[in-house]
Amino acid sequence: MKYKYLVASGCSQTYGQGCSADKIYPKLLADKLGLKLINLATCGTGWYSVETHVTSFINNNKDILDECFFILQKSALERRVNYEEIAICRTDIWEHWNMKYMSSINVCSHGYIDWKKYNGNNKPDYWPDAGEQKQNITMWNYPNQVGKQLIYFPEHKHYPNSRNKWKLGHDNTITPPYINEQFDELMLHWGLRINSFHLFLKSIGADHIIVDGYSPFLSYKLDFTNYYDTNDEYEMVKEFWSTGTTGIDVDDSMIYDFRNTKSGWVFDAIDIKYKINDVVLWSLYQFKQHGTEWNIDGSHAGPLGMKLIADVLYKNMVSKGWVE
């Protein structure tokens, strides 16, 4: 094998929160491959952390780049984005191009053709009447109600983390009326970030695999492989991420339609050799008993869960020709 180092980056799942350092999946995988581990992961971070840490590592270690293999773990849907710059605010300015959403910054500049359609009585004093497009380009500070701004983009109603509300607004009481359209824009944002970084790494000869940690991005089609101990567990995983309700309380069904996201073409553009698109790592241990060596707290793998992850990554590296 030409590699000497396994460089891993991601969030707490790759850092190994709550697990002994010698039992985390990057260490198990490195040992299986006979490589030295360099773990750049940090708890509570997202894709921006992966980009910056890995880029900094490359910039300072170009002399060993050919000896490194990178595992890049994408975290959760809502993590570390600037919502003011994501197109999640309903507007009618660009509707004739089938673009019904702008970022809040854009809304401040462009406004609405008919502001009453979406924003009630929140029009600034100097805004033109409905039916007239705003002419001056002075930015304005809109009230919090405009666009029903998010505190956190809802990850999933199942997710047992109080920071990840599935309702919107500053008091978390608003049921999201356009959640799937907003979801599509956020998926597009992540798809472009992931694909762009992949192309950068490929252009400099940095061998790598990207894998989903807590949400389906590369695996948005939900065509999961049965890596599970039982068929029942496999069926639960498929049901959990789908919009189906079989065996699930209707109010707890998935609120996003990953399989039909418009941005799928961006994830598809990444060559299969450089991605794992048939698993969400969290799902490998999520449906095993919590508070055990499989799953220590519902969100993090214990030693047995980490072994599952390492085995799946190893199988993928072999099947994709990275290792013999």
CATH code where residue 271 lies = 3.40.50.1110
Per the domain annotation, does 166 fall within a domain? no
Phi first, then psi, for residue 279 (nearest 5°) are -160, 150
What was the pLDDT predicted at 244?
Answer: 72
What was the pLDDT predicted at 144?
Answer: 43
Per the domain annotation, does 157 fall within a domain? no
The answer to whether 179 and 166 are in contact (CB under 8 A) is: no
The answer to whether 137 and 106 are in contact (CB under 8 A) is: no
What pTM value is reported for the model?
0.85
Domain total in the chain: 1
What was the pLDDT predicted at 156?
Answer: 58
Give average pLDDT by consecutive 10-residue segment, the chain, 324 residues: 94 94 97 98 93 97 97 89 77 85 75 69 50 46 45 55 50 64 89 98 98 96 95 89 66 78 97 98 92 92 97 98 92
Per the domain annotation, does 302 fall within a domain? yes
Per the domain annotation, does 106 fall within a domain? no
Tell me the residue range of the domain where 62 lies.
5-80+186-319
Per the domain annotation, does 227 fall within a domain? yes
What was the pLDDT predicted at 11?
Answer: 95
The answer to whether 293 and 260 are in contact (CB under 8 A) is: no
Per the domain annotation, does 87 fall within a domain? no
What was the pLDDT predicted at 153?
Answer: 63
Per the domain annotation, does 110 fall within a domain? no
Alpha-helical regions (H) of the chain: 12-15, 25-33, 47-60, 104-110, 116-119, 179-203, 231-241, 264-268, 283-286, 303-319
Q: Which residue type occupies 206?
A: A
What was the pLDDT predicted at 147?
Answer: 41
Per the domain annotation, does 141 fall within a domain? no
